[in-house]
Structure 1
Amino acid sequence: MQVLQRFLLSVCSGVLAAAPVLALAFPDKPVQLIVPYAAGGLTDNLARVIAPALSARWGQPVVIENRNGGGTSIGTAAAARAPGDGYTLLLTAFGYIGNPLLMKNLPYDPAALVPVTIVADAPSVLFVSAKLPVNTVPQLIAYAKAHPKGVMFASSGNGSSPHIAAELFASLTGIDIVHVPYRGNGPAMNDLLGGQVQAMFDSSASMSHVRGGRLKALGVASEAPVARLPGVEPIARLGVPQLAGFAAGGWFGFFLPSKTPADLQQRIYADLRAVLETPEVHEAIERAGVEPRLMTQPEFAAYLRAEHDRWAPVIRERRIQLD
């Protein structure tokens, strides 16, 4: 945990080892994009939006490799061990800051990866099964208190941002939930739609199931209304005092092995930025149910440090671990 904090501070301060490299010659072979989540989930969907555009810009294939498992540690470790030549990218989410807090035996050094840029973020929506006899957050809390361990919250994996959001919600409201981890958003959502689990924090991409009558959206985990979610009120404003200020969501960002020379890091950042600013990619990211967002490397490092400091107390209080 301290290693990650020190490393993010160094990146935020711009302290990156500069080494000469012929960045202009990059790439002259296929580039690997590791996604440490299962195919069909939100992170994977974003990768499949961005990879073709990046491939077109580079004139080389950008090959997506899903290496899920271990709370994203398997894929993240593979990226951390990769050569610093720019030919291995990592697109990940909460696991980058969560794993050092959640795992006793982390199989990689967090400082072996350097943040490049965030690409999107989104406040989570609290969805419940249409079969659950509640229509509001207060009703959900009352139901959970009347049925201890009767509400199962699905997530995209143990220690994922939907899991941490559910734990924070339970801690603040004093309810006793059952967490059910899945290998990605896709399988978790399938069971929520089928009624095998009762609730889940997920992106607004799942609002289509609300319109189809298969889910209910009880609120959005933001302090202010979200324009793309008319009629879905912030959980913080639903009259539950314990939830005043409640906010949770996901972010998605690119990382490189930290031994990648600074000028090549900047070249890849510039190319990612150019791709992400195109209308086609921007609109495709919005259709995925998240908000397109860009940051410089120091800005992204500062953001990650703030997220680390925000969620570390929740993880410690709820005694959440991956191993």
Structure 2
Amino acid sequence: MIRVLVCIAMAMLAAATPAAAQQNFPSKPVRIIVPYGPGGSADQVVRLYAEKLTPALGQQVIIENKPGASGGVGAQMVASAPPDGHTLLLAPTAILAITPAVRKTQYDPADLASVARLSTPLLVVTITNELGATTWAEFVALAKANPGKYWFGSSGLGTITHLTGEVLTRAAGIKMQHAPYKTIVDAVGDVMSGRIHMVFDPSFLPQAKAGKVRAVLVADRERMTEIPDTPTADEVGLDLKGFRERSWFGVFGPKGMPPQVVARLSGELGRIAEMPDLQHKLLLVAQRAQHQPHDAFARQVTDDMAYFKALLQELNVKLD
């Protein structure tokens, strides 16, 4: 009888241990892997959230940059991590909804679970000063007169900045060549020197404000206060057909995370997204806070997978 009671007690203890661990989450520092180099949009967004998330969780939130393979190195690290919520991924649209649709990746998107959407990048079309063009219309006229002569840069094959270039140039009726970089930060010097001519990443906003490059177009509902003289896509008659809303930054973790842990993380990130000072800081780097909880975000990701698969086929974009 005593042996039976001991066995029952041990079984109850074993069953209770995961629940206790979930209630004590986080029990150690939380790592958020950024699958790109420091200084880019992904890095800027997650550091703003991490600053608020550390006191909210009561544990240090550590940001680790792990660039490589268009985000594949960092994504695989998280996909293979223990599903306890202590290792997370800051990912843009491309890692989950674009790249896996057209080529084999180091990671399986099914091994990553949605936690929360954080923000929507504001598409800022930036051109080099070396061209002498000062407006979107002037640049389009140059590009139409010289088809294939000019280059746009991106943060890599199959990234959202790559597809932005494809969608935007086709919508404008111009032909440009694509220059993929390991990270968009690597393109800064080339844009300022005129080696490449256009980029679409919001991380170039500081250079545009400083006059080192020229912002000629913003794809948002209204003009940005940081660059008030820059018109919106609607104002210049450019129809991007809802493409902007498909661009996001979100947090993911390994599949199999306890629901209570996912709910805790999603809830804290949602509360942070409502903070006015965070919203202001995000706008300074051309990001709009846009929270989606884990369940709604999971549906968004699934829908975007289908959208980008069809778009890539329509545009005949090759990533290899």
Relative to the length of structure 1, the TM-score reads: 0.84
* Cα separation, 1, equivalents of 2:288 and 2:276: 13
Question: Partner residue of 1:259?
Answer: 256
Question: Partner residue of 1:137?
Answer: 136
* Cα separation, 2, equivalents of 1:283 and 1:219: 21
SS in 1 for 2:105: coil
Superposed CA offset, 1:80-125 (max 9, x none): 111111111111102221121232x122221111111111113301
Question: Partner residue of 2:215?
Answer: 217
* Cα separation, 2, equivalents of 1:174 and 1:288: 29
Superposed CA offset, 1:153-202 (max 9, x none): 01122111111011112233443211111122222233212222100112
* Cα separation, 2, equivalents of 1:275 and 1:43: 17
Question: Partner residue of 2:10?
Answer: none
Give the RMSD, CA atoms, in angstroms. 2.3
Residue in structure 2 matching 1:244, options 239, 264, 268: 239
* Cα separation, 1, equivalents of 2:274 and 2:216: 33
| Alpha carbons 1:141, 1:173 under 8 Å: kept | yes
Decide which moves more: 148-157 or 132-141. 132-141
* Cα separation, 1, equivalents of 2:314 and 2:285: 33
* Cα separation, 2, equivalents of 1:201 and 1:306: 23
- List runs of 5+ in structure 2 lacking aligned partners: 1-16
* Cα separation, 1, equivalents of 2:187 and 2:259: 39
| Alpha carbons 1:80, 1:257 under 8 Å: kept | yes
Question: Partner residue of 1:77?
Answer: 76
Letter in 2 for 1:244: D
Give the drift of 1:25. 0.7
| Alpha carbons 2:167, 2:240 under 8 Å: kept | no
Give the drift of 1:273. 2.5
Letter in 2 for 1:100: P
* Cα separation, 1, equivalents of 2:293 and 2:57: 21
Decide which moves more: 209-218 or 158-167. 209-218
Q: Does 1:40 align with 2:43?
A: no
Decide which moves more: 133-142 or 25-34. 133-142
SS in 1 for 2:192: helix
Question: Partner residue of 2:8?
Answer: none
CA gap of 1:66–1:210, structure 2 versus 1, over 3 A, is closer
Question: Partner residue of 1:296?
Answer: 293
SS in 1 for 2:133: coil
* Cα separation, 2, equivalents of 1:245 and 1:37: 26
- List runs of 5+ in structure 1 lacking aligned partners: 1-18
* Cα separation, 2, equivalents of 1:252 and 1:178: 26
Greater Rg, structure 1 or structure 2? 2
Superposed CA offset, 1:195-230 (max 9, x none): 221001122x533433332222221224x4235353
Aligned length: 299
Q: Does 1:311 align with 2:297?
A: no
Q: Does 1:52 align with 2:51?
A: yes
Question: Partner residue of 2:165?
Answer: 166
Give the drift of 1:128. 0.6
